[in-house]
Amino acid sequence: MSSPRTRRARALPDGAGAARSPSWNIARDLDEQTELGAVYARDLIRAQLRAALGTCALVGLVLAGLPLLLSRVPELNRVRVYEVPLPWLVLALGVQPVWVLLAARHVRRAERVERDFTRLVDRT
C-alpha cells in the first residue's frame, strides 16, 4: 500500500503499538466497518483509481496522439501500402493491439493491487 501509515505499521516491531492486540486483524476491521477498516478500504480504492487513471491517460494519449501525428505530418497521409492509405492501416491494424496491450497491463496492475491488499489483510 502507498499510505505512510501502512509503511510505518509494517515497520513496527512485534509488540510495538498499543492499538495492536494479539487478536487484532484488518479483516475484522473491514468486516465491522470500523474507522481503521474504512482507511484500508479507501487506500485500496485509491490504488485501484491510480491504476485506472494511468490506463485512461495512456488511452487518451493514443486517441489524441494519432490524429495529431497525422495532422502534423501530412506526408503520412500520402503514403500507401498495397494501395491502402497508411492512416487507414494504422487505424484498422495498429490501434487494436495497443488496446489489447493496455487492457492486459491494466488487469495485471489491478490484480497486483488486490493481491497486495489481500496479503496485508491475511498477514495480520
Residues 73-83: tens digit of each pLDDT:
888 888 898 99
**Per-residue model confidence (pLDDT) at position 44:** 84
Helix (H) or strand (E) holding 16: none
Domain interval for residue 12: 4-123
Give me the pLDDT at residue 71, please: 85
Split into its structural domains, the chain has a count of 1
- Pairs from 36-41 (Cβ < 8 Å, separation ≥ 24): 39/3, 39/5, 40/1, 40/117, 40/120, 40/121
